[in-house]
Amino acid sequence: MQLQLVVVETGRTWRRALLRMVWDPKNAISHNDYGSFERQNSGSNSKLDEDDHDKPLPLRGCSLGSLGSAGALPLSPLHNQQASASSMSDTDLIQRQPLLPLPTKNGNHITVEYEEDRDDHSEDDGRPGGKVNGAVIISIPKAEREEQRYPKEKLKTLMAFFCLVFGFIMATASLSLVHERVPDKKTYGPLPDIFFELFPKVPWALTVSEIIIVVSTNVTFLVLLFHKHRFIVFRRLFLMMSLLYLMRSVTMFVTVLPMSDPTYYCSPKANETTPWLLTTRVWQLMSGFGLTINGKQTYCGDFIYSGHTVMLTICYLLINEYSPDSPKRIFQLLSWLSCIASTTAVFMVLLARGHYTIDILIAYFVTTRTFWIYHTLANNSSLKKPGPHNFLARAWWFPIFRYFEGNVGVKVPRQHDWPLPWPRRFLHKPPNRNS
């Protein structure tokens, strides 16, 4: 008897494999059959020697892991009396192999097929896997492609970028309007702040803070660019930043605080608001990315909440969440450096009197909660559906989130690759040793 394993792979259906166990009786004289259970005998077709009843039956090249290639299978006296020299019966072999299915009546072949290859499901006998035309059917689920689990959806990423641009325009437009409502510095001094009372003012600290913001932003961009699922990660960044800027445009507009630094230069007020004036101010602020080191941020009143803190916090959270796992020490160090740099930059903003302490605290709270709630919803498919069990679905931005994240069903892994089609040597993928 011989046990053979045949795997057939064809074209596009490479995942479909036909596992076939073939029962093939062989001549007892031929001892070159791999996996044969025949006992090697010098004589012709005769019964086993009675003196060898108590000896183990050697196996040559058995492919079953439970037996081993050089093992021996002990035989009982009753079994030795019933065994023949030419071959074993099917029943004897199956008794030795209790996990093998019984051969069918209409042939010597036992076939295992994929469920997707079946044409008729009505002839199942009710057992697990079923049975069709004498073939034992084992249901094997289809392998889910990586493209289905992590869809790129480039159009959605582009739409998310437009949402970010819209949120930034709304924030700058709100600042353009708030500038006309800022209380006069000569009449209203800075509000009492515990940090201002403990630490003196450092004029150059705001420049240091914005330099750290520029460096952190570029490092974060590189980490996300080299991510394997960069379109998903960038889409999340754009959506979260658009939400934060939209909420900031509301909070700074409804409550206007007096200047925290009386010496800070503010552009003269126009005492009127026209569409052209609003457009020119928005363009000036956007061209300078809202930073004073570019010389374009000369409008005052953007206090609650701090945009500097939002950028620094989101950069740290993204680096900590999406940086590679290996080499572990290097990227753990990068995460720690990002945290230290962000904390230092926030401290510098307070030293320069660029914001009140309440602006920093609210910005940190809103940014971290938005990030954590967003990723909690994104990493749990059950939370992407509204219902009585899902209170997070009551957020006003949940329908927007559901549209952009509805097709990402699992957590995005920390995998990185080369983002460009050249040079090709960086695109080489090592073989999968686990397959």
The residues carrying an active-site annotation are: 308, 355, 359
- DSSP assignment of 22-62, as one string? EE----TT----TTB-PPP-SSSS-PPPGGGTTS-EE-BS-
The SS3 call for residue 349 is helix
Distance CA 408, CA 149 (A): 6
**Cβ 235 vs Cβ 403: under 8 Å:** no
State the burial class of residue 58 (Cβ atoms within 10 Å of its Cβ: 0-12, 13-18, 19+). middle
- Please provide residue 22's backbone torsions phi and psi, each rounded to the nearest 5 degrees: -110, 125
Structure tokens at 142: 């289809």
Distance CA 60, CA 218 (A): 64
CA distances from 336 to 3, 309, 412 (A): 58, 17, 22
Distance CA 110, CA 90 (A): 13
Calculate ∠ Cα 385-148-418, nearest 5°: 120
Distance CA 109, CA 19 (A): 11
- DSSP assignment of 206-247, as one string? HHHHHHHHHHHHHHHHHHHHTBTTHHHHHHHHHHHHHHHHHH
- Please provide residue 318's backbone torsions phi and psi, each rounded to the nearest 5 degrees: -70, -40
- DSSP assignment of 131-156, as one string? EETTEEB---PPPPPHHHHS---HHH
Distance CA 202, CA 352 (A): 5
Distance CA 201, CA 353 (A): 7
